[in-house]
Amino acid sequence: MQRLGPDGLKKVLAQHKLALGSFSVYNAGFPRYADFIGKFGGGMVVRESAYGKIDPAELRARMKAFFEQLNPQIEQAGQAKAQLAIENHGDALLSTVDSFKAFVDLNPAPRVVGIALAPYHLQAIKASVEEVIALCGAQLLFFYAWQNAPGFQQFPGHGTTDFTPWLKALAKIGYAHYVNPFMHGHAPAEEMSAAVAKARAYLKECHGKAVSR
């Protein structure tokens, strides 16, 4: 942000023939980067909900309070031509099927704020990814192609999960944003590049099956 500035970032991306898919603001928060993102031209911004165990009886009240606290950032996002994609996570406000229902029902600004869906965390609680995709509907802004498994098996086409039903569910809701192969962990660049290439080829194969059925 300080070394390149928004124009410098654009230049670096252009040099490498890249387009920016999203900003992640987990560590420092969106307000710190709002001006930079606005001058860059806006974009998708992925962030967390709120961490901690949630009593199911308090879920809707907690979700309403979350949105009330988020209101200043929603306003900033609108000014920066950005969208806030809230990621589900284990032991977080946005985590269970019921929490997705509450989010969609109570979201005060669905054109500006929506959901970044991480199937990895849904599989951890044995929730249906397809069901949650359907619940999110037009409020789904970002999708991690990410399965609950160790190492490279987190990537599509590496582990045991069939991604075709997920892509079919995305097509059914008219999802038009990024499908992002993702994993936790670090590996040498050559190994990571090969793994991502395999994941991409597998996703294209699954997409062909999903839209032809």
* pLDDT at 213 exceeding the cut of 90: no
* Pairwise CA distance, residues 24 & 2, whole Å: 17
* pLDDT at 53 exceeding the cut of 80: yes
Per-residue pLDDT at 32: 96
Mean pLDDT across 104-130: 98
Q: How many CB atoms lie within 10 A of CB 104?
A: 18
Per-residue pLDDT at 28: 87
Using an 8 Å Cβ cutoff, are 173 and 137 in contact?
Answer: yes
Q: What tokens does 102 get?
A: 């509450």
Mean pLDDT across 116-139: 98
Which residue(s) pair with 85 in the sheet? 46, 114
Q: How confident is the model at residue 27 (pLDDT cuts 50, 70, 90)?
A: confident
* Pairwise CA distance, residues 197 & 44, whole Å: 23
State the pTM of this model.
0.95
* Pairwise CA distance, residues 10 & 28, whole Å: 22
Q: What tokens does 78 get?
A: 């609108």
* pLDDT at 188 exceeding the cut of 70: yes
62 CA to centre of own chain: 21
Using an 8 Å Cβ cutoff, are 210 and 167 in contact?
Answer: yes
Per-residue pLDDT at 152: 97
Per-residue pLDDT at 200: 97
Mean pLDDT across 146-159: 97
C-alpha distances in Å from residue 48, one per residue of 38, 93, 118, 166: 20, 9, 11, 22
* Pairwise CA distance, residues 60 & 146, whole Å: 28
Q: How confident is the model at residue 163 (pLDDT cuts 50, 70, 90)?
A: very high
* Pairwise CA distance, residues 136 & 124, whole Å: 19
* pLDDT at 98 exceeding the cut of 80: yes
Per-residue pLDDT at 60: 97
